[in-house]
Structure formats: structure tokens, C-alpha cells
Amino acid sequence: MDGDVEQPMLAKGPPSHRERHFTAGEVVRDVIMGVSDGLTVPFALAAGLSGASAPSSLVLTAGLAEVAAGAISMGLGGYLAAKSEADHYKREMKREQEEIIAVPETEAAEIGDIMAEYGLEPHEYGPVVEGLRRNPQAWLEFMMRFELGLEKPDPRRALQSAFTIALSYVIGGLVPLLPYMFISTVQDAMLTSVVVTLLALLVFGYIKGRFTGSRPFLSAIQTTIIGAVASAAAYGMAKAVQAR
């Protein structure tokens, strides 16, 4: 129709896209390590002492002492591991920096070799090589990541790891000991502890499977079986020693 004016189509931008990547892998690893050991070790200790007919007060005292010592030990281990990783990164960075200064042509050729592994041709990665050579810091970081496969560690990582593992161990370790705080009869406390801890292991294993990408139900079953076997072994050994 003559009176109609054709309206231009509105330009649409690219659809919004929000990437959802999980970026707290190190923290989750520390939590899993702490809770896993915290649920299992005090659980086995409590079962063993219960098998030896120790009173609930003794089981609780020994269990709390183990939780405290275990948390310190695990936290220290996490701190030393993260500190060693940071020290290793610093040593390799210093060595790589010296190589860039001493043999720049060789290091520049290595950039090309890395790019070629991704299917790029010399005329495609040439400008990238030249750009990196003009920026020594970026060149160094590129070589650390793509040649050596090392990521720059967070300077706070060691303390964070120690605190996370220790706290997770305490939280996990208190679960099997809670029944001994409220039930005076050791056998009743042990049975309650078994039920509560196995349920906690089941839930923890499922959550661990969701975070680690493995099958949650399989992870739950595996985690529960490990805890059950450990406690049964400790209980059986205590009974065997007591029978002698």
C-alpha cells in the first residue's frame, strides 16, 4: 500500500551468554580432603575404643584429642604443599626469565613451536611472537603457562589451604563423636555414631561426586564403604586384642 512505510528490521546483537565455569576447585579439593579424613579417622578411633569397652567419656576425650591433632597435622600438610608449589613456581619463573634474556631467539622459537601444536601456521603466529617479544612480562607468563604448564599460585593460597583443611577436618571429625556427648552407654553411643556417620558419609560422598564430576551415587556408595570398612576394622582389632 502507498501509505505504508517499510520499517527497517531492528539489528539484534548477539544473544547474551553467561559462562558458568566452576572456579573454586582448589578450595573444594581442600574441603573434600579435610571432611573425608575427618569423618573417617575419628569414626574408626571411636569404634575401636568402643570395641575395647571404653566408657563414653574416654571415647569422647580421645576422639576430641585426635580431632585437634589431626586438624593441626592436616592443616600443616596443606600449608606445606601449597608453599612448596609456590616456591617451585618462583624457581621456574626465575629460570625461564634468565633463558629469555640469555637466549631470546631460542625462546621465541619455542613460542612458535607451541603455537604450531594448535595448528597455526608461521604467518599466523608470527605477529603473536613479535608482540610477546615486545612485552617481556607477558612473554614470561606465556612461557610459564604454555611451555611449563604452571599457573601462578595465589600468594594467600598456603594459609587459606591450611585453614580450610583444618576447619573441614574438625567439622567432619565432630560428627561421629556427637553421640558420645549425649549418650552415656558406650554401645548405644557407638550404634548411634555408626548410623549418623554412615549417613553423613553417604551425603558427603554424593556432594563430592557432584563437585568432582564423577557419578554422585557411585561416589556416595564408595565413600560410605570406605568409612564402614575402616571403622569395622578398628572395632574388630579392638575386640581381638581384648579377647587375648
Q: CB under 8 Å to 186, separation ≥6 — which residues?
A: 50, 53, 54, 55, 56, 59, 180
Does 19 score more than 60 pLDDT?
A: no
Burial (0-12, 13-18, 19+ Cβ within 10 Å), 189: buried
The answer on pLDDT for 213 being more than 80 is no
Q: What's the rounded mean pLDDT across residues 197-221?
A: 84
Of the chain, the percentage scoring pLDDT greater than 90 comes to: 18
For helices 186-212 and 216-243, angle between their N-to-C axes, nearest 10 degrees: 150
Secondary structure (3-state) at 185 = coil
Cell of 128: 603473536
**What is the mean pLDDT of the segment spanning 231-239?**
73
Average pLDDT of the chain, as a whole number: 82
Over residues 45-59, the pLDDT tens digits come to 888 888 777 888 899
Query: 59-83: per-residue pLDDT in tens?
Result: 999 999 999 999 999 999 999 998 9
For the chain, what percent of residues have pLDDT higher than 70? 88
Whether 32 shows a pLDDT value over 50: the answer reads: yes
Q: Is the pLDDT of residue 14 over 70?
A: no
Compute the average pLDDT of residues 211-235: 80
Mean pLDDT comparison of 136-140, 159-163, 227-231, highest-scoring range? 159-163
- Work out the pLDDT band at 141, boundaries 50, 70, 90: confident
At 244, list the grid cell: 587375648
In terms of pLDDT, which residue wins out, 72 or 125? 72
Res 66: pLDDT: 92
Q: DSSP assignment of 14-28, as one string?
A: PPP--------HHHH
Q: Is the pLDDT of residue 207 over 70?
A: yes
Taking the domains of the chain in order of start, what are their residue ranges?
A: 32-243
| Three state DSSP letters for 225-242 | HHHHHHHHHHHHHHHHHH
Each residue of 162-180: pLDDT tens digit? 999 999 999 999 999 999 9
Q: What pLDDT does residue 10 have? A: 45
21 falls in which pLDDT band (50, 70, 90)? Answer: very low
Tell whether the model's pLDDT for residue 11 goes beyond 90. no
Local structure of residue 118 (DSSP, 8 states) = T
Burial class (CB in 10 A: 0-12, 13-18, 19+), 147: middle
Q: State residue 12's pLDDT score.
A: 52
How far are the Cα atoms of 135, 140, 229 from residue 48, in angstroms, in the given order?
A: 62, 54, 12
**Run of H or E including 29:** helix 25-51
- Mean pLDDT on 115-126: 79
Q: Is the pLDDT of residue 130 over 70?
A: yes
pLDDT of residue 242: 62
